[in-house]
Amino acid sequence: MSDIPFYSPVSLNNVIALTDQLLEIAAVADASDLHLEPLSQSMRIRMRVDGLMQLLKSPFDQLPASAADAIVVRIKLLSEMDISESRRPQDGSFQWQLNDKWVDIRCSSLAGHWGEKLVLRLQWQQQNIDICQQGLSPQQLQIVNRQLSKPQGLILVTGPTGSGKTMFLYSCLKKIQAPHINIVSAEDPVEIALLGVHQVAVNNAINLSFSHILRALLRQDPDVIMLGELRDFDSADVALKAAQTGHLLLTSMHTSSISEAMHRCHGLGVDMLALSYCLSLIINQRLVRRLCNECKQPMTELQLAAMGSEEWCDAVATYEFCFGVVNPCLPVGCEACHGGFRGRLGVFDVMVMDQSKRDSVAQRQVQELEYGAGVRRQGLWRVLAGHTSTAEVNRVTW
């Protein structure tokens, strides 16, 4: 990459080259988001890598106002946004190429005290959405595959924002794709285009909500329906009716636990008795950063001896080598990673509905649905296998 003369008069060629450089830096780092944040006399550039925000290296961490303004215009033009409007929020998108790979970029603008902030979401078209690569244990994978093979029911994936729910739903759709199955989806927005799946995006400008799309999709002779998120009573009500009438429906909800998801459903006004009979599987998940294989170091006996909490001892006692041999490691950091970590993996709590759990849902005794140690225990099993650290598990599960 050639250096850009930041403080020389900003020419069109400079703006194009600098914009490409910023996108390339984010792409090479496997960033999910690129943030362009205006300050009083400059613009700060940050990116989100493996779920954490970090500054770009100098001189790309802050750009002078002249270059920053030009880059904002350049990105808004690429995103087909109105460059004359800087007060109201706008959304747009474009495609960008790095070598032989293409990335879909969604851009969001929002005016603030110092000017417009742009956030770019990078979504690679050639992403691995194999369900076997999501992080499920062999036993959990068997359970999920069994539920996906059923002709009807409701599969609910829960977790906070950024926990990998949408990617997991895509991996489920990819798993059950077949010429004899009609798969449709309602999403906001469509993040990955799946060949063979009819995907419809929410469009509030024309009053096309989740519930409107779902009602239309039910007239499209579907076998499997994916609803991006349960947000309100209308979408939840239509989803329940779809699951009751011979469809397999997959959806997600932004909650931190299985019991909280049931509380949310009750708060939306959902018929809990009907929900109890529709639900076939509930999955709660998180994403933890994976230790870099190039530089991670095994824990010493002294360090292992310090891991003496009751929770850790329980994880050791219940570990059945589902993720490999015991080899706890610590992050170090090298040229190939970000502070000792590179990439992320999922940790899951998978619960199949049986009669006792259905009774708990119907009677709203949802605290009884929390069993074992859920995602934390699986996170500690990953620590035992040397895939992540206890600090990382604590960060995403507490």
Please give the Cα distance from 382 to 322 (Å, whole number). 9
Is 1 a residue whose pLDDT tops 50?
Answer: no
Nearest to 169 by CA among 225, 244, 233: 225
Position 373 scores a pLDDT of 62
> For the whole model, what pTM was predicted?
0.88
pLDDT at 368: 61
When mean pLDDT is compared across 83-87, 281-285, 304-308, the lowest value belongs to 304-308
Mean pLDDT of 334-347: 94
Q: How confident is the model at residue 125 (pLDDT cuts 50, 70, 90)?
A: confident
For the chain, domain boundaries: 12-124, 131-397
Kind of pairing between the strands at 279-291 and 153-159:
parallel
CB 378 within 8 A of CB 286: no
Asked if CATH classification 3.40.640.10 holds for the domain at 131-397, the reply, yes or no, is: no
Cβ neighbours of residue 15 under 8 Å, at least 6 residues apart? 67, 70, 71, 73, 74
Answer yes or no: CATH 3.30.450.90 is held by domain 12-124: yes
Is the pLDDT reported for residue 8 higher than 60?
Answer: no
Amino acid at site 340 = G
In 50-113, DSSP assigns E strands to 52-55, 62-64, 90-98, 101-112
The tokens describing 243, both together, are 């699951």
Report which of residues 308 and 119 the model is more confident about.
Answer: 119
**The pLDDT of residue 99 is above 70:** yes
3-7, 17-21, 192-196, 340-344: least confident range: 3-7
Q: What is the mean pLDDT of the chain?
A: 91
344 pLDDT tier (thresholds 50, 70, 90) = very high
Mean pLDDT of 301-313: 90
Domains 12-124 and 131-397 fall in the same CATH topology:
no
Instruction: Give me 364's structure tokens.
Output: 């709203």
DSSP 255-279: BSSHHHHHHHHHHTT--HHHHHHHE
DSSP string, 94-109: EEEEETTEEEEEEEEE
The number of CA neighbours under 13 Å toward the Cβ of 323 is 29
